[in-house]
Amino acid sequence: MPDARFYRNPLFFVMFFLVVGCGKNPEERLAGKWVGDRIDNVSADQVAQATGWVKGTTFEFSGDKLTVSIPAESPRKGTFKVSRVDGDRMVVSIARPNSPTYDETTLTMRSDKSMSWDIGQGREVLLVRMQ
């Protein structure tokens, strides 16, 4: 057990607050603009079309607001909240406009600059953070 004097050392408090302060909450980890990069687990004959769709897809998180842009559709805007977190995997609940219901999607943080969006049927879209 460390000597009690260790806890009174100012350096201990600086180190403690640096370690505790470095953790970002899920909303902070999502903040910013994310652009589709690639899709995994599609058939060879669908890769070109699916990749075009993915490259035109963006997510933009700002505070509790989310804007999703998908090719050939009007951007969708709504309020979101992270409803569940399991390590780097999080379930994001997005409020439907003019409705008390929420849509849910699963996002997995791969790094500070990339995340995967589970679109079902074993397929994931890799999104990268814009600088």
Q: CATH code at 46?
A: 2.40.128.280
Provide the pLDDT confidence category of residue 113 given band limits of 50, 70 and 90. very high
**Domain boundaries, position 100:** 25-129
- Asked if residue 81 has pLDDT above 90, the reply is yes
CA distance 2 to 69: 54
CA distance 28 to 43: 35
- Stretch (H or E) spanning 92: strand 89-95
CA distance 55 to 115: 14
Nearest to 52 by CA among 75, 36, 67: 36
Is 97 among the domain residues?
yes
CA distance 55 to 118: 16
Is 102 among the domain residues?
yes
Q: What is the 3-state secondary structure (H, E, C) of 44-59?
A: HHHHHHHHHHHHCCEE
Is 2 among the domain residues?
no
Is 35 among the domain residues?
yes
CA distance 105 to 97: 16
- The pLDDT tens digits for 23-60 are 679 999 999 999 999 999 999 999 999 999 999 999 99
Is 50 among the domain residues?
yes
Is 10 among the domain residues?
no
Is 15 among the domain residues?
no
- Asked if residue 99 has pLDDT above 70, the reply is yes
Please provide residue 79's backbone torsions phi and psi, each rounded to the nearest 5 degrees.
-90, 140
Is 14 among the domain residues?
no
Domain count along the chain: 1
